Amino acid sequence: MAIQEIKVPDIGDFTDVPIIEIHVQAGDSVQVEDPLITVESDKASMDVPAPKAGTVKEVKVKVGDSVSEGSSILLLESAAGAGVKAAAPAGEEGQKPPPAAAPSAAPSTTPSSAPPTGQIADFSRVHASPSARRIARELEVDLNRVPPTGLKGRVTQEDIQNFAKGGTPATQPAAASSSGGGEGMDLLPWPKVDFSKFGPVETKPLSRIKKISGANLHRNWVRIPHVTNHDEADITDLEAFRVQFNKENEKAGIKVSMLAFMIKAAVASLKQFPEFNASLDGDNLILKQYYHIGFAADTPNGLVVPVIRDADQKGVAEIAQEMGALAKLARDGKLKPDQMQGGCFTISSLGGIGGIYFTPIINAPEVAIMGVCRSYWKQVSPDGKQSAWRFMLPLSLSWDHRVIDGAAAARFNVHFANLLADMRRIVM
């Protein structure tokens, strides 16, 4: 038998990230890829898996410790000569997890025993899945107090949500917090149905990306008062220019999508309307002086949101090339956590698929998101006299009503559309 020191592998451009869970203790047997610890940055949670099978001899860290790449985690006793699989933060098929939007700063008011500020409760001995644990952290629920209803004493997501709503044990529903509320809603329990009695079924586990994004989307939808404005942008001239530009630069391998122009338009609009380039911090509004734009990228395992950093300092062609590189990394499951962090505003484009309008969910802690669908030809009459066929881009702007009012949202949409109608406005 050989004893090996297990260390934190490459976790991206992060140092001193806190340990939020420890999944093993001395004497435990582990298999390859079993989670040892979970660390959490400001945007993503990452499991550090076992690089080989063996028995834990000594755990060298505790919940709340900060670790970096190379930090010692534990000592593992395994058979001599056993192969070691390179450790990486666990994700679906080796992928790093997508961005988990940071929760609002103001604490929620749930029937929990949340640890005092600066402390992290130790839930390592609670029998619960990673997704259930993540929901518990987001709702600030003390897992040790949640009565389990799952098989073999497992705490389920429903157990946590019921406890957060005051259902178990019986308590008064909590008042909505200043960060959005939603925990105290008196909702009916989720229906439990044996679908197989109605016909053949197939059970397919959700990918890790969908589990993580699903919890974040649910939180964002419940806790942010969404409003969506719909509008159209006349991109007839811009589309003609884009096609001509791509034709001229075909041999150079440069291809610009409409989304790259939209990112530049988003930057200019954020500068014009700074309350859209902000985040809520309790009763304060944090106005950002940088312009990092996220875009939704479709992958086989679900949507992720890479971020174009300092988009205000880059041209459209450079943005297009960076988008292509990030989208490929996303599809290959190789995006690093820092490539999905720091976004100020997100654009979600369904242009390659179809549709007209939809309601995109805000990517907290951002306060707005732009959704766009497939462009279409439409006969319009701008002056009310003569009509002409124009190429129109549908816009769907969702915004946080705690920060933005309807008039500002309408002006933002109009400004954004005007920039796309004539990109020369950006240089003025």
Q: What angle do CA 20, 22, 23 make, to 5 degrees?
A: 130
CB within 8 Å of 202: residues ≥ 6 apart: none
Catalytic residue among 127, 226, 230, 401: 401
Q: Which residues pair with 368 in a beta bridge?
A: 399
Strand 368-372, strand 345-349: pairing: parallel
DSSP state of 145: G
Return the C-alpha torsion angle 133, 280, 214, 38, nearest 10: -30
Going from the C-alpha of 271 to that of each of 160, 287, 290, 307, 402, the distances in angstroms are 41, 11, 10, 18, 20
How far is Cα 381 from Cα 427, in angstroms, rounded to an integer? 28
Alpha-carbon distance of 169 to 238, in angstroms, equals 59
Burial of 371 (0-12, 13-18, 19+ CB in 10 A): buried
Strands 35-40 and 17-22: antiparallel
- Per the annotation, the verdict on 23 as an active-site residue is no
The strand pairing partners of 390, in sequence order, are: 378
Q: How many CB atoms neighbour CB 243 within 10 A?
A: 11
Positions annotated as catalytic residues are 401
